[in-house]
Amino acid sequence: MLTLFIYFVLFFSVPFANQAEYGVKYLFTFPEAPISGLPLSQPQAIAIDLEGFVYIIDTGNSRIVKFNNKGDYVFALGGFGWETEEFDRPLDITVKTGLEVFVADFNNERIERYDKKLNYISSFYSEETFSTDLGFGFPSGVDVSAQGELFICDNENNRILKLNTFGKPIVSFGDFNWGDGQLEHPAKVEISPDNLIYVSDQSANQVVVFDYFGNYVTRFGKNLLNKPKGMTWSRNKLFVADSGNDRMAVFDKNHQLIYSWGDEGSNIGAFKNPVDVAGFGELIYVLDSDNNRVQVFELIEVK
């Protein structure tokens, strides 16, 4: 794969005292060619496993595409349908355990579970026997904790549903009974290193934080974010795909915006509807949906 390293460096001054200056260095873009005859089409999610393999939810083609961390194609799975290796508008993926892959299959109203080689294991559906506060429909986001419990963005009920390690729902939170923690339209969910639950609320233009048990903690980003979607933690900072502003926004552990980069466009370093982001070491992978590509950057910190 042709790789364009060190094309440009962007630095962003921090408007807060006693903090460093930050920047990103563009490294490369992928994929460079169609996968199995099909270019990416409106991809909606990206995740990186512990070995550095990159998984992209290629929503327009109803498939998962797997690459190595240099952007070389490895494998693809899927196609439109409802069988165990098919999808209908898949929207999210998580691979945090290193052993399993979970996919939010939106229109099929299920979470699909695979091993790291993308062999099918099982599916999680909402069942009629579940109480109304433990069902879900049209999942748009999914993440898995270090304990192996799943957190799902339930778009039908605008809330988060928590499943235990056996795939059974145990609690929901963020619906109309949650006061300041009420979600309008949850897009993605991200579990922090200290087990807080971060939810991007794309209609309220903010990120809402809950503890591991679903209790409301705080919210931030109002008047800064526009349709926030995917998130990831790297270097103790939260990177948010600020899709409506065509940029990446970076917050510190106190939820203060410390820098951002990108604007609308198709040039290197610009974005059209960035929808998700993933980190691997010093690298940040931004899923640039309307440009049907991934842009890879290296984090730089200047004291």
- Check which CATH number belongs to the domain holding 208 and give it: 2.120.10.30
Output the pLDDT for position 133.
81
Query: Does some domain include residue 73?
Result: yes
Output the pLDDT for position 21.
67
Query: Does some domain include residue 1?
Result: no
Please give the Cα distance from 265 to 246 (Å, whole number): 8
What is the domain range of residue 108?
9-302
Helices (H) and strands (E) counted in the chain, each on its own, are: 0, 25
Query: Does some domain include residue 3?
Result: no
Strand partners, 29: 295
Output the pLDDT for position 3.
37
Residues of the chain with pLDDT under 50: 1-7, 12-18
- Its pTM stands at 0.93
- Single out the residue of 64, 68, 76 nearest to residue 1, CA to CA: 68
Can you say how many angstroms the Cα of residue 284 is from the centroid of all Cα atoms in its chain? 12
Query: Does some domain include residue 245?
Result: yes
Domain count, the chain: 1
Query: Does some domain include residue 64?
Result: yes
